Structure 1
Amino acid sequence: MGSIALIIALHVYAREVPLNYVLLAAFTAVQALTMGCVVTLFEAKVVLEAAVITGIVVASLFAYTLQNKHDFSVGYGCMGSLLMVLLWAGIFQIFFMSPAMNFVINVFGAGLFCVLLVIDLDQIMYKFSPEDYICACVALYLDVLNLFIRILQIVAEANK
């Protein structure tokens, strides 16, 4: 809940220096605590493998975005709809726990966050102004973090 409040505050005060730095530091600390708790649920080998895969995927998507001159911002509307599908699938999964459905949700989520990462990178390069660095930072951070969580769950399932 603290993360959501901090994200809202970051968007409201994105251009209010030095408050935006304080909010970004607080958001990063809350996310670090949360991720610290999450990764303790997995074996170190699984976490390392997921981190390496995430790093390779992010670097590859960054290179792809740099090379490609398409305007990816048209995908934002579709991404909002797909995020809602992912949200409702996750809620459905809470009540009807299915390992197969969990795997499908994680693969779908990983693909979705890859596309969101490309869109956000494109936005940063061609649409955002230099004053939007806080929003850009949070967008990239959330894309990579969500991608890592999905890959972590996929790798953990594959190593069972």
Structure 2
Amino acid sequence: MHGRIVLKALILISVVVCSLTKYNLWASNKSKDFSFFEPILFTSLIILFLTSFMQMFFPLGSTTVVVYGGISSLVFCGYIVYDTDHLFKRFPYDKYILASVALYLDILNLFIFIFHVLRSADN
């Protein structure tokens, strides 16, 4: 049962990451800058952290888990766009390991939250 959910999440992640990367390649050719995302994403991450901390003490139900997972997925899609932009434009050649680790963590977090949404929707 969880194998199907993992496969669905993997397919969704593959489509999302490929489309966001293609968008970022197109945007970098048009000289678009995504550095304005930094304060928005940081504030969103703090709000997500505080919300998950509150859910440890006051469980909010399955509907809230789906909403929280959806909002978290959007935040980490923003982080993928932001970190891919930094990978293309701002990191020097000797710092690509740090950039790839940041991008890997964004993809991993996105996978986890999409998995939670699909698992909650399956129940």
Q: TM-score range by the shorter chain?
A: over 0.9
1 CA distance for matches of 2:26 and 2:108? 24
Task: Identify the match of residue 119 of structure 1 among 82, 102, 109.
Answer: 82
Structure 1 vs Structure 2: percent identity of aligned residues? 34
2 CA distance for matches of 1:119 and 1:156? 28
Alpha-carbon offset, residue 148 of structure 1: 0.3
* Deviant stretches of 4+, over 2 Å: none
Alpha-carbon offset, residue 134 of structure 1: 1.4
Task: Identify the match of residue 36 of structure 2 among 64, 68, 74.
Answer: 74
Residue 143 of structure 1 aligns with which residue? 106
2 CA distance for matches of 1:127 and 1:76? 14
TM-score, L = length of structure 1: 0.72
User: What is the aligned length?
Assistant: 119
Q: Deviations over 1:80-125 (max 9, x none)?
A: 1110000001011111212122111111100000000000000010
2 CA distance for matches of 1:93 and 1:105? 10
CA contact (8 A) 2:66 2:121 kept: no
Q: How much is the aligned-residue C-alpha RMSD, in angstroms?
A: 1.1
TM-score, L = length of structure 2: 0.92
AA aligned opposite 1:54: I
CA contact (8 A) 2:48 2:72 kept: yes
CA contact (8 A) 1:65 1:121 kept: yes
AA aligned opposite 1:156: R
Does 2:72 correspond to 1:106? no
In structure 2, the gaps of 5 or more residues are none
Q: SS of the residue aligned with 1:72? A: coil
AA aligned opposite 2:36: V
2 CA distance for matches of 1:93 and 1:67? 39
Residue 63 of structure 1 aligns with which residue? 22
In structure 1, the gaps of 5 or more residues are 1-41
CA contact (8 A) 2:65 2:120 kept: no
Residue 45 of structure 2 aligns with which residue? 83
1 CA distance for matches of 2:101 and 2:37? 19
